[in-house]
Amino acid sequence: MDIDFNKKASSDALSDSKKPLDLILVRAIMSCSTCGKEKKFRNQFLRKDLELMVVALKVFDWMVCNKCGELFRLDLEFRV
Ligand SMILES: [Zn+2]
């Protein structure tokens, strides 16, 4: 019984490693339309952790330029 279980587990691991890495690369570029200041952030998320990305983007949503107080414009680039 134990042997059967181990066999199954190792074959599962094998099929997992064949899959392409389930990573989504995200680049967020914040730019200020008033003074042109730019900030770039890069992060990567597992497809199954997409919720984490939403949480991270919510933080960006209210970021303002520390130079002139203008709300940043947010551009996103995804590499899936
Ligand atoms: Zn600014």
Report the separation in Å between the CA atom of 30 and the middle of ligand 1, taken as the mean of its atom positions.
Answer: 10
Domain range holding 52? 20-79
* Continuous H helices in 1-80: 2-18, 50-61
Q: Could you give the number of structural domains in the chain?
A: 1
37: in domain: yes
1: in domain: no
15: in domain: no
5: in domain: no
Report the separation in Å between the CA atom of 16 and the middle of ligand 1, taken as the mean of its atom positions.
Answer: 46
The residues near 76 (Cβ < 8 Å, ≥ 6 apart) are 26, 27, 28, 29, 57
10: in domain: no
Decide: helix, strand or coil at residue 5.
helix
pLDDT digits (tens, 9 = 90+) for 5-26: 555 544 454 555 555 678 999 9
pLDDT digits (tens, 9 = 90+) for 16-62: 555 567 899 999 999 999 999 999 999 999 989 988 888 888 877 78
51: in domain: yes
Report the separation in Å between the CA atom of 75 and the middle of ligand 1, taken as the mean of its atom positions.
Answer: 16
